[in-house]
Structure 1
Amino acid sequence: MVTRIFGLSIVVTIVSLVVAFLYGGLTALALCAILGILEVSLSFDNAVINATILNRMSEFWQRIFLTIGVVIAVFGMRLVFPLAIVWVTAGLDPVKAFDLALNPPADDAAYFPDGSPSYETLLTDAHPSIAAFGGMFLAMLFLNFVFEEREDTWLSWLEKPLAKAGKLDMLSVVIAGLGLVLAGEFLAADDDRSTVLISGLLGIIVYIAVDGLGSMFHTEEFEEGSSGPSEAVKATGKAAFFLFLYLEVLDASFSFDGVIGAFAITSDPIIIALGLGLIGAMFVRSITVYLVRQGTLSEYRYLEHGAFWAIGALAFILIVSIKFHVPELVTGLIGVAFIGAAFITSILANRRDDADSDKAPVSVS
């Protein structure tokens, strides 16, 4: 099972490293490997959330996401997205933007008569708006989770009061909106304030739209059925399509920090595509498949909770990064810490349940 799931990722990794070596020698090979490790460490919580949502989708739509969705993640977010930012912010056509990324000139005057900065700087300058959009989208995802009542709680001392507070309708929107206003006021530079506010508002709107449409069509399918929702019911049709869109936007939000962080290592889009896209995205796909096929989320009850708390931390980091630089290592370690703590407490909870079942008296008929 493990070999079959991770086999393709291992092959893609080897091929990517060989291509990187042929492209730029040992330096390119090392950079590609570092970026692959960076992406996997930053995106483990992404894989857990992907698996949670995929469990709600039919097998057909699971395959769609794990094939077409991965292609979008590899080429869309890790290659086209950085170039698109440069197209928009610098007013370059796609060919010149790609040429500038591959061959950054000593003097940018060839493309920018007024002496505007390079490709890497342009992408970095766009970070406040990217961070605002991604931070607000992830914040909505996290807030809707913690404000929802559920049978199992992980950090019960905190999750139970938050669930009670969540009975106030639209509280997640109120909190996210307040956070956006504070970010625009205290974190955004004067020149970026309007951009940050608009980008953050778009992040909230996109979340509400995609999540709402998915829920609406899922509910309609249950109403048309005979027995209503159950664990056996999987989203199909329009409901699954909107869950697919939801996953794509979610993956994009998770990818922001990795793509921006990659430019601290290299600005070469080919190396970024090989390291983040092929190696990183393929391993995230394999981890997602493993979690779904093995039923890991049901076996380790708090793993989903840990992933959502990691999302909350990532949303906070993205918003803070509008003004302050947060090292990618810190972002990755926080996510791993939440997932690891949830995994360990799940094991301990399972052992307690087993011990309690062994102590339970056996009834004699």
Structure 2
Amino acid sequence: MIKDLFANLAILISLLFLYTQVSNRSPLTSKSSYRIKAQSGIFGGILGNVLMHYSINIGTTIIDLRLIPIILLAYFGGVVPTFISMFMVIGGRFLIGINISSYASSILVFVVAIFSVLISNSNLSKQMKQLLMLTFINISASILFIYLIEDINFLITLLPIYWIASYLSGYIAFNTVTFLRKSQELFNKYKSESMIDPLTGLNNVRKFDEIFNQTLEELEKKNKKLSLLYIDIDFFKKINDTYGHAEGDVVLKELGYILRSCTRTFDIVSRNGGEEFTVLLLDCPLDQAVQIGERIRKTVEDKPFALTQGGTVNLTVSIGVSCYSDTTKETGLIINDADKALYEAKRSGRNMLCVAHY
């Protein structure tokens, strides 16, 4: 029996770890998309059936941990994944055999699923919800055992073992999932922070390079146009020297907001370092890229940037534009050409937009 319980716990923990690695997404919540809820419910149903087949033998009776995935889904995901898992477990039980035991155990699964969903939506503490779910499993299963088993002496042996196994496996399962969810959240957080500029919330240069390279691969296959704006704040060092770096950061944040508001929702806006920004304009010809660039330049020129210490400051930007395939036929020259056009704008007096030469 101890070996069977250990094997069940090993299966439970291993499959929970495996699903976390395979799913590679944000943790399941009641607000997750229906697709994610459905996937989680299907996994829970599979896990429940696996645990049902690897049962724990106690004398002439077998018990299993099929209810654990159901209460986990109810606790973390709500109604949809719970009911998907529930129906899969019930269906799996009837595939094993149709008898009084299968009907009784299916009713148990249904009742536990309903109760767990109700408890998960309550205002109780997390620990109390978990305790009530596991206790309800034990009480409900005990009633089922008493109904099906006539040997009182065997029941006296069976029930304490089942309660201990249920509480132990439930405690381990809840803590395992909680650990995995925290690890997943931290991984997603660090992954996001490694790709996002913390000051402006825009993509950083690493993310820009990643998206740019991916875009080039698709560009050559689909033969679409791609434009790039290289943007640099004019005399930004003077702002830092005059008002301080904290006020310079305020200006950078506001410029990031302007860039997002002046571009299309699917364009890639990045801060590539210091006061240098880029906008990757997807499927955008040169004339449209120039219009967007001029809109940015004019918006910045006309806007007084508010400072935290009071007052405002005005600034301008210089912009270089390149476009595949309007200014170059080589994808490898898009960045280089935009950079050259930017410095041409700087040399020509700043506060202007220059287009790369073909």
TM band (smaller chain): under 0.3
Q: Point out the structure with the larger strand share.
A: 2
- Name the larger-Rg structure: 2
- What's the TM-score, normalizing by structure 2? 0.24
- What's the TM-score, normalizing by structure 1? 0.24
